Chains A and B, each alone.
Chain A
């Protein structure tokens, strides 16, 4: 019984939250990696683009709510996401046309691109804050829990409860569907394959008649879908605040690089690596050991490796270590 309790404890406090957080990071990391692989720059506007997409989703959610449209137990935001995606893609294409296109034609070095993306970051941040304001917003509606901790305890008779939030299930489900679709697209369709070819060797791809304009367009479309869904899922699960989204850029970068930048599958796994290590290293295992160990060996302290304040620092340290020992990432990067 104690053993079961311990497992439920870990599931409830480590496994499910980490899986959810990891999925959100993974979507952002694939976005970063796609831009890096095909447009060849580190996009510092990542977090703010995600907040733009989320903002559009929230505005549509409010609109639908005012119309009285709802999905019953599911959050209305799911209905608003497609519209949010359209706005996000339009915004990205606009920015690409007025900003990035020029430097692409100039064949500027990646550093210059990164600087330009900082300019885009400032502008996007301003746009988001001017339109929706800097404050914390929750836009979740519908049923909050699938299983409540108390119900679970009554059902199973265990001491530990397992709470399953509907946003967690939605996040994991949507991520799996979206990522499978994406990999199917990249590996099986002609456009996807030409994207890979373009990322692998630009000149060769151009020689074989691949249209760079189309590649760039498709890349931004996919990026828009990933950014909006990733951002909206994060916002649904936690809350929407422009500043948090800007900060999320850092673990997302860490996930993309740990997985091997330019490699979408690596980025996908990288998201989970970062999320799990953040939560595993900062969780206090006291209760777990109380369940598992005999009474005489019960720990006195919290048995916490690092205090939760260092949550972000953990992922950054992992990144720094990976960069130093294996700059190409855990799964060799550089090729889509």
Chain B
């Protein structure tokens, strides 16, 4: 109990902060912050596994998040039969060609010694393969994108419940991480950072522009939900009774029956939105807790000890007979898969998939700030980082507005400088994040909750 005091204190402060938002602003805002905090926490757990456990730097978090989101679309949207009829065959042929290409390359790699001729022939196969696929799939893609482009224009998905996509998202992200890890993990730390960052940009470019698969920048909206819809709730009897019961004190004060009914309606509308958010919170909380238990178990297992040994001294671990390359690849896949889950959760919560919104600032660098600020190597720290940083990211605008008004209280409203400052309030969040990161790196380099390893 005593030794965990700082953890408990830090989490209590965080909860109080969120509760305060609920009391002073609104419960809707508080819950949406809380939900995104939970999603951020999942992302930071993924990044923390890679950076904190194994010292692998992955600046491609954005790419894995987007792949998770893509999984949500592909799983939950109903298949567009017409599009399949129009161009499904061409797409399947293109997929088949890709498989053949990969197999041929694998065969050449296995069969022949490394030589210049081999490298060039593989390059030739890849280039001609890409050209072949591009020109053979072209008519199919055009046909698919021509199918009712305002509404569909893509192949659609499998029409399954969206919660399945959380697993599929993990698989997608893990699959990408396998490919990236195979090619890039041998690089030095800062090269790896740049390579992963650029690869994630390539992934986003593909998701943005392959309209037949993702609808691209036209966005997919109205995804299925694991939670009930507000509109349905507002007409459900038990829900109205529940709201009435909760607010019986407030309602009984109102004498007039019509007024009371109006007040109740208002409360039901507000309550329905809160209730839906609570449903999401519950789902997300389950995911966070399961992942937390698993990652904690892993951290204190022999495997976790081995990972730390590899992180702290790669050569020594190698000399002890640990397969460093294999373990690095494994942890790269695991961490990315967790990020993929978070990506699917994010799209599930929003109910829409907007490829244009994936930007490295929000989905890569902010997550890294969370991990560093919270405490890398410590799962509780990483989760706390997700909470603290997301909370500040959202609340930075009101806080800075308050501060500006406070410090410029004596200056009239019409002052140009004051007006300019108030206009640029949204950008103070970048300042806050940057300063926060710099201060933490300087004065508490291990984060708010530093890594603490006890040998049991």
Q: Which residues of B contact A246 (CB under 8 A)?
A: 361
With known contacts A42-B193, A119-B438, A257-B194, A313–B202 Cβ distance under 8 A: yes
With known contacts A115-B441, A130-B428, A120–B434 Cβ distance under 8 A: yes
State how many angstroms separate the Cβ of B123 from the closest Cβ of chain A: 9
* In the bound complex, CA of A278 to CA of B369 (Å): 32
Q: Which of B381-401 contact A (CB under 8 A)?
A: none
Is the Cβ of A316 less than 8 Å from the Cβ of B202? yes
* In the bound complex, CA of A116 to CA of B438 (Å): 6
Q: Which residues of A contact B188 (CB under 8 A)?
A: 327
B92 within 8 A of A: no
A177 within 8 A of B: no
A26 within 8 A of B: no
Is the Cβ of A253 less than 8 Å from the Cβ of B198? yes
B191 within 8 A of A: yes
Q: Which residues of B contact A312 (CB under 8 A)?
A: 201, 205
Q: Which residues of B contact A123 (CB under 8 A)?
A: 430-431, 434-435, 438
Is the Cβ of B197 less than 8 Å from the Cβ of A122? no
Is the Cβ of B430 less than 8 Å from the Cβ of A250? no
* In the bound complex, CA of A111 to CA of B138 (Å): 43
Is the Cβ of B195 less than 8 Å from the Cβ of A313? no
Is the Cβ of A127 less than 8 Å from the Cβ of B209? no
State how many angstroms separate the Cβ of A333 from the closest Cβ of chain B: 11
A1 within 8 A of B: no
Q: Which of A281-336 contact B (CB under 8 A)?
A: 301, 305, 307, 309-310, 312-313, 316-317, 319-320, 323-325, 327
Q: Which residue of B lies closest to A95 (CB)?
A: B438
Contact mask B359-380 → A, CB, 8 Å, 1/0?
Answer: 0010001001100100000000
* In the bound complex, CA of A306 to CA of B432 (Å): 41
State how many angstroms separate the Cβ of B52 from the closest Cβ of chain A: 13
Of the residues B208, B209, B430, B445, contact of A122 by C-beta under 8 Å: B430
State how many angstroms separate the Cβ of B321 from the closest Cβ of chain A: 26
* In the bound complex, CA of A129 to CA of B194 (Å): 25
Interface residues on B, range: 35 or more
Q: Which residues of B contact A124 (CB under 8 A)?
A: 434
Is the Cβ of B372 less than 8 Å from the Cβ of A115? yes
Q: Which residues of B contact A112 (CB under 8 A)?
A: 441, 445
B148 within 8 A of A: no
State how many angstroms separate the Cβ of A233 from the closest Cβ of chain B: 24
State how many angstroms separate the Cβ of A263 from the closest Cβ of chain B: 15
Q: Which residue of B lies closest to A40 (CB)?
A: B190
Of the residues A109, A111, A122, A310, contact of B437 by C-beta under 8 Å: A122
Is the Cβ of A316 less than 8 Å from the Cβ of B201? yes
Contact mask B159-201 → A, CB, 8 Å, 1/0?
Answer: 0000000000000000000000001100111110111011101
B132 within 8 A of A: no
B206 within 8 A of A: yes
Is the Cβ of A323 less than 8 Å from the Cβ of B434? no
User: Secondary structure at chain B's binding surface: helix, strand, loop or mixed?
Assistant: helix
Is the Cβ of A116 less than 8 Å from the Cβ of B198? no
Q: Which residues of A contact B433 (CB under 8 A)?
A: 122
State how many angstroms separate the Cβ of B390 from the closest Cβ of chain A: 15
Q: Which residues of B contact A118 (CB under 8 A)?
A: 365, 368-369, 437
What is the total number of residues of chain A having a CB less than 8 Å from a CB of chain B?
45
* In the bound complex, CA of A118 to CA of B434 (Å): 8
With known contacts A115-B372, A250-B198, A120–B191 Cβ distance under 8 A: no
Is the Cβ of A250 less than 8 Å from the Cβ of B431? no
Is the Cβ of A317 less than 8 Å from the Cβ of B431? no
* In the bound complex, CA of A327 to CA of B183 (Å): 12
Q: Which residues of B contact A121 (CB under 8 A)?
A: 365, 434
* In the bound complex, CA of A319 to CA of B187 (Å): 13
Q: Which residue of B lies closest to A306 (CB)?
A: B134
Contact mask A251-263 → B, CB, 8 Å, 1/0?
Answer: 0011001000000
A125 within 8 A of B: yes
Is the Cβ of B208 less than 8 Å from the Cβ of A309? yes
Q: Which of A84-110 contact B (CB under 8 A)?
A: 99, 102, 109-110
Q: Which residue of A lies closest to B180 (CB)?
A: A320
* In the bound complex, CA of A118 to CA of B437 (Å): 8
Q: Which residues of A contact B442 (CB under 8 A)?
A: 102
Q: Which residues of B contact A142 (CB under 8 A)?
A: none
Of the residues B184, B191, B434, contact of A119 by C-beta under 8 Å: B434
B89 within 8 A of A: no
Q: Which residue of B lies closest to A251 (CB)?
A: B198
* In the bound complex, CA of A41 to CA of B191 (Å): 10
Is the Cβ of A126 less than 8 Å from the Cβ of B194? no
With known contacts A119-B438, A323-B187, A130–B427 Cβ distance under 8 A: yes
Q: Which residue of A lies closest to B424 (CB)?
A: A130
Q: Which residues of B contact A133 (CB under 8 A)?
A: 423-424
Q: Which residues of A contact B57 (CB under 8 A)?
A: 111, 114
Q: Which residues of B contact A126 (CB under 8 A)?
A: 427-432, 434
Contact mask B131-156 → A, CB, 8 Å, 1/0?
Answer: 10000001000000000000000000
Is the Cβ of B198 less than 8 Å from the Cβ of A324? no
Is the Cβ of B441 less than 8 Å from the Cβ of A317? no
Q: Which residues of A contact B435 (CB under 8 A)?
A: 119, 123
State how many angstroms separate the Cβ of B68 from the closest Cβ of chain A: 20
State how many angstroms separate the Cβ of A113 from the closest Cβ of chain B: 8
Q: Which residues of A contact B205 (CB under 8 A)?
A: 309-310, 312-313
Q: Nearest 8 pairs between A and B by C-beta?
A: A122-B434, A123-B434, A126-B431, A126-B430, A119-B437, A129-B427, A316-B198, A309-B209
A-B contact pairs, 12 of them (CB 8 A): A99-B438, A110-B190, A111-B189, A111-B190, A115-B368, A116-B441, A118-B365, A123-B431, A125-B430, A257-B194, A312-B201, A313-B202
- Beyond the given pairs A116-B437, A126-B431, A320-B183, 16 more chain A to chain B contacts, judged by CB atoms under 8 angstroms and listed by A's residue number, are A102-B442, A119-B435, A119-B437, A122-B430, A122-B433, A123-B434, A124-B434, A126-B432, A126-B434, A130-B424, A301-B138, A312-B201, A316-B199, A316-B201, A319-B195, A327-B191
